[in-house]
Amino acid sequence: MAVGRSDTLQELITILETMFGETIIGSDINLVKHLFYSLKADQREFPFDYEGEKLTSVVEEVSEDTLVLYVPYLQPKGILRAKISFEILNILYQFEVVLLDFWEDHVRVKIPSELQAAAFRKNLRVAVDDLFMNYVILYRSLSGGERELGKNLSVEQRFFHLMKEIKKDNPSLKLINLMVTEYILGISKDYEIVFFGPGKDGGFFGDFVKKYNRSVYVPDCSLIKSYIGEEKDPYLDNFRDEYLRLIQTRGQAKADEFFRELQKEEVRNFLISYIVTPIRLFNDPIGYVRVFSTAMDKFSIVQQQALYIEELGDILTYALTKVYIRQENFRNEEAVTRILDISMNGLLFEIQDERTFNYLKQHNIIKMFIPISERNLVLRGEVVRFLEIGNGKYQLGVNFFDSNPDDMVFLQHYIFSKKMRILFE
């Protein structure tokens, strides 16, 4: 049910009528429709809150009294109401809309007949064209997103010194490599770390990791079911998916022969068991770690040890990606981090690297270093908006939640001086 006009909303409408003239006045629905025309013209993405699920939407069509929104991954749940919110001209709007029809990532909604909620921003944003920043991702969890307390606390305790180094702003890859090696040696002295590159594709294990991007664990090389059996480890994969693919492409006999030969070769090399886990940059495999035991070692790598190695692979992936993001921001033109606007609440910045854009959707807590005049501001924030602009450009909105002492005061002076300069130009 729409909310009647309050004094604040009436004042807001009066201000907007002054700004835009008589083309949008006459009734609330004309004003509301104008807002959606503006969103459609700019192809602006805005939040679509449907039954607690936070989705992103774009206006595709504005009709007499309905809208067509493009909402990727929208799944109808029987509920016919949703909340949308957006910002135009420094004013935040929020509406509850009625959903009329669903089809293929689209939904038709009824245009609200009245303004429901709107408020001016307390802190105005200032557009900038000469401000750049460097930043580093801050640790929340290895997978990003919400912190999984049980899992991540155990990882941090098990690899305490390694995680302590990785959480630094500028972790040392050389030291991380030494630590990872020491942890591996605690499981087995037989291991290899392979990075893909010119003339080094990693062979069969490299092809498997590139194709499936997951770990594989063979607990007993003397048993063919360890390679291709249906009863595989509940937490780690074997080669069964590759075996089924070979059956489809080459036939049953060829698939059986391939894995029999693989098993024979590894038994001839005295292998008892092994774990292969990918090393990634962002989410792309760039190598793998293989840890194995042989007949001379007189032990097998058990499930807990295999999971331990898999966690090490995830930690190494996180470390490599964090260092890459930090070091490549200003070194590589494709990763330049340009600030578009800034306020006391947050900022909007632009990048040209799709992998970084997608990675920040999960690892969205960042520490920013912004050189302004003689000072280097250090601010911490959460990335809350993700916009694909096109032409290889991506924009991300950040809300600040912490800063170094006095940096917010300096930022306030900078914004004030920027506003005054704009007014006098």
CA distance 1 to 104: 28
319, pLDDT greater than 90? yes
CB distance 36 to 42 below 8 Å: no
If phi > 0 it is left, if psi is from -120 to 50 it is alpha, else beta; for residue 263 that is alpha
| pLDDT confidence of residue 118 | 57
For 269-409, strand residue ranges (E) read: 271-281, 284-294, 338-342, 346-351, 365-372, 375-390, 393-403
Query: How far is residue 304's CA from residue 273's CA, in Å, rounded to a whole number?
Result: 13
pLDDT over 80 at 151, yes or no: no
Residue 258 has pLDDT above 70, yes or no: yes
Do residues 37 and 24 lie in contact, with contact meaning Cβ atoms separated by under 8 Å?
A: no
Q: Give the pLDDT band (50/70/90) at residue 318.
A: very high
Say how far apart CA 62 and CA 116 lie, in whole Å.
Answer: 19
pLDDT higher than 80, residue 284: yes
- Other Cβ atoms less than 10 A from the Cβ of 319: the count is 21
| Alpha-carbon distances of 81 from 37, 230, 352, rounded to whole Å | 21, 45, 36
DSSP 64: S
Q: How confident is the model at residue 257 (pLDDT cuts 50, 70, 90)?
A: very high
Question: Contact 95/135 with Cβ under 8 angstroms?
Answer: no
Q: Are 367 and 380 in contact (CB under 8 A)?
A: yes
Question: Vertex 261, ends 256 and 267: CA angle to 5°?
Answer: 125
Span 140-147, average pLDDT: 68
- The pLDDT tens digits of the residues spanning 168-197 come to 998 999 999 999 999 999 999 999 999 998
Q: In this predicted structure, what is the pLDDT of residue 93?
A: 81
The full length of the chain comes to: 425
Domains of the chain, with CATH numbers? 23-121 (2.30.110.10), 127-137+333-424 (2.40.10.220), 153-329 (3.30.450.40)
Q: What confidence score (pLDDT) does residue 420 get?
A: 66
Distance of CA 279 to the CA centre of its chain: 18
Helix (H, G, I), strand (E, B) or coil at 71: coil
| Helix 240-250, helix 252-268: angle, nearest 10 | 140
Whether pLDDT at 21 is above 50 = no
What is the spatial distance between Cα 33 and Cα 36, in angstroms, rounded to a whole number? 5
Distance of CA 328 to the CA centre of its chain: 18
Encoded tokens for 257: 């022969």
pLDDT above 70: percentage of residues in the chain: 84
Mean per-residue pLDDT, 318-343? 78
The pLDDT of residue 412 is 86
pLDDT bracket for residue 326 (50, 70, 90) = confident
Burial of 29 (0-12, 13-18, 19+ CB in 10 A): middle
Q: Is 300's pLDDT higher than 70?
A: yes
Tokens standing for residue 311:
């966690």
Tokens 């494709």 found at: 334
Q: What is the DSSP string of 218-266?
A: ES-TT-THHHH-SS--SSSB-SHHHHHHHHHHH-HHHHHHHHHHHHHHH
Return the C-alpha torsion angle 94, 95, 96, 101, nearest 10.
-120
Cα distances (angstroms) measured from residue 301 to each of 217, 274, 311:
9, 6, 15
pLDDT at 117: 61
pLDDT tops 90 at residue 166: yes
Q: Residue 375 pairs with which residues in a beta bridge? A: 372
Q: What is the mean pLDDT of the chain?
A: 84
Render pLDDT for 345-381 as a digit per residue (tens, 0 to 9): 899 999 988 999 999 988 999 999 998 888 899 999 9
Q: Looking at the predicted structure, is the pLDDT value of residue 24 above 50?
A: no
CB 188 within 8 A of CB 282: no
Six-digit token string for 185: 């040696």
Render pLDDT for 30-74 as a digit per residue (tens, 0 to 9). Answer: 778 888 888 888 788 888 989 878 888 899 999 888 999 999 888
Q: What is the pLDDT of residues 375-405, one digit of tens each?
A: 899 999 999 888 888 888 899 999 999 888 8
